């Protein structure tokens, strides 16, 4: 990045790191650390690669039956401990993970319309 080292107080990213490959995530973490000022903070929201409830399991299952999958087969989205290790390797030392349950719920006709928009294979049903 064309940003001076040690010049930014806070970097906030939401679902950025889960869209990168493992290699690009580590490069990005190191770059974020480089531009942060002494005592600066990086806050990152990432998607869990593991379903936490039945609704999330069904989204992943439906996606695997889609002609136009939402998630790529190579989707990385690091688990919290893997990301913590990458942050540590990137220079970060005070690493805290917090889990937030945010669920999008499709019900009734809306759910079937979304599955249809994903071109979900009949095997899913």
Residue 16, pLDDT score: 86
Using 70 as the pLDDT threshold, list the residues of the chain that sit under it: 70-76, 102-106
Q: Model's pTM, two decimal places? A: 0.70
Residue 28, pLDDT score: 94
Place of tokens 């989204």: 59
Kindly state the tokens that stand for 55: 């609704």
Residue 122, pLDDT score: 77
Residues written for the chain: 125
Residue 104, pLDDT score: 64
Q: Are 62 and 125 a contacting pair, CB within 8 Å?
A: no
Separation CA 57–CA 6 (nearest Å): 42
Where are the chain's structural domains? Answer: 8-66+75-124
Q: Are 77 and 24 a contacting pair, CB within 8 Å?
A: no
């Amino acid at each position: 990045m064309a940003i001076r080292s040690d010049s930014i107080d806070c970097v906030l990213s939401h679902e950025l790191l889960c869209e990168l490959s493992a290699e690009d995530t580590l490069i990005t973490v190191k770059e974020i650390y480089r531009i942060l000022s002494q005592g600066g903070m990086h806050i990152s929201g990432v998607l869990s690669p593991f379903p936490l409830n039945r609704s999330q399991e069904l989204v992943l299952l439906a996606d695997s039956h889609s002609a136009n999958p939402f998630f790529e087969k190579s989707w990385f989205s690091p688990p919290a401990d893997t990301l913590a290790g990458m942050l540590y390797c990137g220079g970060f030392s005070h690493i805290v993970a917090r889990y937030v349950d945010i669920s999008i719920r499709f019900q009734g006709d809306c759910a079937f319309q979304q599955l249809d928009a994903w071109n979900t294979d009949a095997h899913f049903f």
